[in-house]
Amino acid sequence: MSETSLEQRYGAPSRLRRQVLVVVSALVGAVFLAWLGWTALAHGAPDVRSEMVTYTIDGEHAATARVDVRIADDDTVATCLLRAHAEDHTVVGELSFAVTADDLGSGTTLEREVRTERLATSIELLGCTTPGQQRPQ
């Protein structure tokens, strides 16, 4: 079968249809690239970043965590959340604390004590948030 007989039998594809498909594909690509750029700008430089440095278990009812917190500017107030877990993975203590640039001084490491209802075996930093950054970092 030759190509002309297929075109005669099934019809030739429309040039307009092909042009519409190219234009729609280009628009979808442009929208995706715009979204990707917005996402990179909005989430690339968070207001606050935090990381657990270390922790110690101080006794049956206390544990201490050292947390590295980095705040974007001096006006930012961050809220951080620490959670202590027992051997059976239940939560035995929580501490939510605010961090400002004044709290950090010249460094970035803070030490906070978590009171526990029984012996903790680990402490987890859930992260820090700000009013403009609800996802913990």
Residues 76 and 30 in one domain: no
72 shares a domain with 38? no
Alpha-carbon distance of 15 to 28, in angstroms, equals 20
Number of domains forming the structure of the chain: 2
Q: Which DSSP string do the residues of 64-112 spell out, in sequence order?
A: EEEEEEEESSTT--EEEEEEEE-TTS-EEEEEEEEE-HHHHTTS-EEEE
For residues 35 and 69, state if they share a domain. Answer: no
Condensed to tens digits (0 to 9), the pLDDT of residues 22-42 reads: 999 999 999 999 999 988 887
pTM for this prediction: 0.69
Residue 99 lies in a domain: yes
Angle at 119 between CA 118 and CA 125, to 5 degrees: 100
Q: Tell me: do 29 and 76 sit in the same domain.
A: no
> What Cα–Cα distance (Å) separates residue 122 from each residue in 37, 39, 58, 84?
39, 34, 11, 6
Question: Are both 36 and 58 inside the same structural domain?
Answer: no
Residue where one domain finishes, among candidates 11, 29, 44: 44
| 113 in the same domain as 63 | yes
- Is 90 within 8 Å of 118 (Cβ atoms)? no
Q: Is residue 109 part of a domain?
A: yes
Show the domain range for 75: 48-129
In a domain, 29, yes or no: yes
85 and 116 housed in the same domain: yes
Alpha-carbon distances, residue 4 vs 1, 13, 16, 18, 49 (angstroms): 8, 12, 20, 19, 65
Tell me which of 35-39, 47-51, 123-127 is least confident: 47-51
**Tally of CB atoms within 10 A around 63:** 26
| pLDDT reading at 2 higher than 60 | no
Q: What is the pLDDT of residues 65-115, one digit of tens each?
A: 999 998 888 888 889 999 999 999 999 999 999 988 887 777 778 899 999
